[in-house]
């Protein structure tokens, strides 16, 4: 019986089968490594960066984004406190656009509060009425009384005052015209608007404006109204870089 089969089973056939088996085993090993990596049992990254982040988390007991989420009642996988280490990694791709905007807003808020708190005595708390859509942080900065004001406070202009809204990222000539027709002609006026109201204006303007997202416009307008051009530039760069990524 072996005699009849061996005539067809040549050395070439055997070699081919062996090579196929070797390739299969090679692929199987690679597949096992891949699966183990996916399960987190293999190819783990170095531990040092994680330890550094944990140290930072211990030194910074409260995450402002988690606080903000808790205040506005949003639920997300990273909203729990303490936040997971992956949420604190300084990676843009791991942050949603909303969270990135929140972080940027809070970053700007901490610097703005320093000036606002020093101006609050003289301006008689006009800011809270000027920007009702803003959420004030629960913990004011500690060194608020020491820092000198570097940014001019918002001056509510007349109704006829017209600012160049095209300086704000995301606003072109057509949208500026649309906003002007809706009565929004100045930075201060735009800063008092909230995202939903601006979105309604855009939706009413036609289908060509429906893709525009006005979420960042009030904050940009607030910075522009306070003549904080440096911070506005940084925020716009942040918006552009976030959009490109």
Partner 1 sequence: MFENMTSRVDLGDASLELAVMLGVAFILGFLFCYLQNKSND
Q: 227 near 220, Cβ under 8 Å?
A: no
Which residue from 97, 176, 227 is spatially nearest to 105, judged by alpha carbons?
97
Distance CA 66, CA 57 (A): 13
Which of these ranges, 10-18, 60-68, 190-198, 229-237, lies near partner 1 under the rule CB under 8 A?
10-18
240: number of Cβ within 10 Å = 12
Per-position x/- string for 40-79, each x denoting binding to partner 1 as judged by CB under 8 A, each - no binding? --xx-xx---------------------------------
Contacts of 66 (CB under 8 A, 6+ apart): 78, 79, 80, 81, 83
Tokens representing 51 are 């330890």
CA pair distance 148, 114, nearest whole angstrom: 8
Task: Output 3 or 160, the one with its CB closest to partner 1.
Answer: 3
Nearest distance from residue 76's CB to partner 1, in Å? 27
Are 184 and 152 in contact by the 8 Å Cβ rule? The answer is no
Q: State the binding string over 17-46 for partner 1 (x if CB under 8 A, else -).
A: -x--xxx-xxxxxxxxxx--x----xx-xx
In whole angstroms, the minimum distance from the beta carbon of 89 to partner 1 comes to 14
**156 is a site residue for partner 1 (CB under 8 A):** no
Q: Report how many residues bind partner 1 under the rule CB under 8 A.
A: 26
**Minimum gap (Å) between residue 7 Cβ and partner 1:** 8
Q: Which residues contact partner 1 (rule: CB under 8 A)?
A: 2-3, 6, 9-11, 14, 18, 21-23, 25-34, 37, 42-43, 45-46
């Amino acid at each position: 019986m072996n005699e009849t089969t061996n005539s067809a089973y040549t050395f070439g056939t055997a070699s081919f089968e062996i090579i196929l088996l070797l390739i299969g085993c090679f692929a199987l090993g690679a597949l096992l490594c891949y699966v183990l990596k996916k399960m987190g049992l293999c190819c783990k990254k170095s531990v040092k960066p994680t330890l550094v982040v944990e140290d930072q988390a211990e030194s910074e007991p409260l995450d402002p984004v988690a606080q903000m989420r808790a205040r506005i009642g949003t639920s997300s996988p990273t909203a729990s406190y303490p936040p997971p280490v992956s949420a604190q990694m300084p990676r843009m791709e791991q942050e949603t656009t909303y969270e990135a905007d929140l972080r940027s807003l809070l970053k700007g808020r901490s610097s703005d509060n320093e000036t606002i708190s020093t101006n609050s005595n003289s301006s008689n708390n006009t800011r809270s009425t000027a920007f009702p859509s803003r959420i004030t942080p629960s913990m004011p900065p500690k060194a608020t009384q020491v820092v000198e004001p570097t940014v001019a406070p918002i001056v509510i202009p007349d109704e006829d005052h017209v600012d160049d809204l095209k300086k704000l990222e995301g606003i072109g000539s057509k949208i500026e015209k649309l906003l002007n027709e809706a009565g929004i002609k100045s930075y201060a006026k735009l800063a008092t608007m909230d995202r939903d109201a601006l979105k309604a204006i855009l939706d009413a303007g036609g289908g060509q404006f429906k893709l525009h997202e006005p979420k960042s416009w009030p904050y940009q307008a607030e910075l522009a109204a306070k003549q904080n051009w440096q911070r506005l530039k940084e925020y716009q760069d942040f918006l552009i870089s976030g959009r490109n990524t």
